[in-house]
Structure 1
């Protein structure tokens, strides 16, 4: 599980249960909801920097991602060490450069996995409804886009991290995760594309 935490620190987002927001007369995130794309498939590149508390130099990695709403997320690291993480509703699977694979988390053994992955999809796709159901959200001024800070509501989540900052335009572009232990993870997404809207045969097979 250490590999996944190193690559995808955002998986801590749904350790606790979802709390539903009461309906409000005015939606403070209406403009953000209107901007963020809700599409079946997104492809792009990522760059991650993780600053571990007590260490001077951050850990860096980069690669490509594929988000398919009806399948899951492919998180392909190209540097410093090639590998791939497959996140679906039922499991988290890692593939190494030599083709070997292992199941990191099985949904049958970890019933909360579906909630974790749902938050992962929400984070990468900018699903504001899902995010605001679990966090207190503060929108911040941003020129030509949007920016917000998410603060966990539950004590369980607060024990894992203190805040998540998101910014973007039609897509989520930057994520900053501050963990309760002092670690800081930054993710930047680029080269994002909605086309083609359907998965290729090879892409679909990689989710199996």
Structure 2
């Protein structure tokens, strides 16, 4: 798996429970941060549409996810081909329908991966100090919700994508990504729920 793809997946899944960052003087961003939920566990469904440069038709996939703010992310693709990605601070693990697993990236072997994880898990925990130097943020609010445009400052994150745009209300509902390669991805989240508020035994085991 390419590092860029892992970075993109980490960024997207982490942004589901993001506490947004900006300077303290940015009232719009601070207001959005107050409005967005920060549950310990968030579950939902996703649909993804990826437009690859040079191809006419987009690639589409659907699935479900579990984000545990203190543990990691379980990202399960159901269509068109079943697969699963488990993301923790230490590694990214892929699981196939036959039950076989493979470590895609291991932070113990790739120190840069640990830095990436630190940034993206800071997104999940709302660590403003860790994130404020990484993104240029522009915010808009209206009666329907809010829009945030994020441009990475970090060269490491810029290798994965050139910009992110998020739309939402209490939760992030849609993420548009422009990758450094100019490929574009739109993720739409639905059926979001904070219940149950703790991980099931099998979910916890997959994140161990």
TM-score normalized with structure 2 length: 0.84
Equivalent residue number for residue 192 of structure 2: 192
Equivalent residue number for residue 18 of structure 2: none
- The CA distance in 1 between the partners of 2:89 and 2:32, in whole Å, is 26
1:9 and 2:11 correspond: no
| Distance change in 2, residues 1:166/1:154 (3 Å) | same
| Deviation at residue 26 of structure 1 after TM alignment | 5.3
Unaligned runs of 5+ in 2: 13-20
| Deviation at residue 28 of structure 1 after TM alignment | 4.0
Equivalent residue number for residue 56 of structure 2: 56
Equivalent residue number for residue 66 of structure 1: 66
| Deviation at residue 105 of structure 1 after TM alignment | 0.3
Q: How many residues align?
A: 199
Q: Is the 8 A contact 2:37 2:170 kept in 1?
A: yes
Unaligned runs of 5+ in 1: 14-20
- The CA distance in 1 between the partners of 2:57 and 2:138, in whole Å, is 31
The runs of 4+ residues in structure 1 deviating greater than 6 Å are: none
CA offsets per residue over residues 90-135 of structure 1, 9 Å max, x none? 0000000000001000111122323333444566x59483654410
User: Root-mean-square deviation (CA), in Å?
Assistant: 2.7
CA offsets per residue over residues 41-88 of structure 1, 9 Å max, x none? 000001111100010011111100000112100000001110110000
- The CA distance in 2 between the partners of 1:126 and 1:92, in whole Å, is 19
TM-score normalized with structure 1 length: 0.84
